[in-house]
Amino acid sequence: MTETFWLAARRSWIRVPYPPPITTCCRVATYDYLPDRQCGVKLVYYHFHYHLFEKGAAMPKKRKPSYLLHKSTGQARCRINGKDHYLGEFGTAASRELYDDLVAEWFAKNNETTHYTLRVDDLALLFMEHANQHYRKNGKPTSEISCIKTALRYLIAKSGRSRVRDFGPKAFKAVRQAMIDGGHCRTSINKHAGRIRRVFAWAVENEYCKPDILTGLQAVKGLQAGRTEAVESDPVKPVPLAFVDAVEPYVSKPIWAMIQLQLLTGARPGEIL
């Protein structure tokens, strides 16, 4: 509900009726000055916004402090708890960075976990709690858990103390380069990069970071064969037939028949059973 009234030279008021008694009211007021040619004075224009909530409902959280321009000095400023903080020249990267630090500190003091305060290593811990419950088969953890830990180990080593909101394509490439320097093969690095993207997809799903962070990571293409300094994995070759024949004395006749059928047809083990 919105009500508007005028106050001329502090003489005339228009009362705004109170909301119904079954609700709770939260009022936000703004004002501006408009000239009046007839009276020769400025009229003060008040604009009240009333937000109605049911009795007992939670009141809205505090709004994030805004990045503002101080017109007389040309500086950027941010008002927190009634105090102005001057951040330097308006629009510069330095003033934006100082603003982000102030807002992050403000969120931390208000006990709010958002994309402003969460760090990469904290996100990794949160994701591991999810992964330990999600990647299970027959009540036991799958091998994917250890693969995720390997990917997160490089992520934390390079960007663990960075905020999630600051993790972009360049930081992602730095993590990938650390894997290359660590001697991982190209295909394994691409798989680990996919796991890191999966971490941030989960963060977006649970509102730990903004979607544009994930979009930036998805824009980083995987390493291509012959176009990177990452080593290539050795080709997987077939098992020598002598090794296959050596297991015959140790398996039952039905199992040996399955092995022979697999050799003749080229079927997968799961297709034979």
- What is the amino acid identity at position 261? L
Q: What is the pLDDT of residue 38?
A: 53
What DSSP state is assigned to residue 220?
S
- Return averaged pLDDT per consecutive 10 residues of the chain, 273 residues in all: 40 42 46 48 46 45 78 88 87 85 72 67 91 92 94 94 90 96 95 96 91 95 93 87 92 92 88 84
| Strand ranges across the sheet with 75-80 | 68-70, 75-80, 83-89
pLDDT of amino acid 179: 96
Determine the 3-state secondary structure of 132 from DSSP: helix
Dihedral angle sign, alpha carbons of residues 11, 14, 20, 23: negative
Nearest to 151 by CA among 202, 205, 189, 119: 189
Instruction: Report the SS3 class of residue 53.
Output: strand
CA-CA distance, 10 to 180, in Å (whole number)?
A: 72
- Residue keyed to tokens 């077939």: 238
Cβ 258 vs Cβ 272: under 8 Å: yes
Give the CA diameter of the chain.
112
H-helix segments, the chain:
93-109, 120-134, 144-159, 169-181, 186-205, 211-218, 241-245, 253-265, 269-272
pLDDT at 13: 42
Strand ordering across the sheet containing 2-8: 2-8, 41-54, 23-36
Which stretches of 135-168 are DSSP H helices? Answer: 144-159
For the chain, list the domains and their CATH numbers: 2-54 (no CATH), 68-109 (no CATH), 120-218 (1.10.150), 241-272 (no CATH)
Q: Output the CA angle 195-201-203, nearest 5 degrees.
A: 110
Q: What is the pLDDT of residue 142?
A: 94
**pLDDT for the residue numbered 100:** 78
Residue with tokens 């330095």, as numbered in its chain: 94
How far is CA 208 from each of CA 126, 130, 185, 186, 187, rounded to the nearest angstrom?
A: 10, 14, 31, 30, 29
Q: Can you state the angle between helices 120-134 and 186-205, rounded to 10 degrees?
A: 90
> What confidence score (pLDDT) does residue 59 get?
43
- Identify the pLDDT of residue 111: 57
Q: What is the distance between the alpha carbons of residues 45 and 76, in angstroms, rounded to a whole number?
A: 27
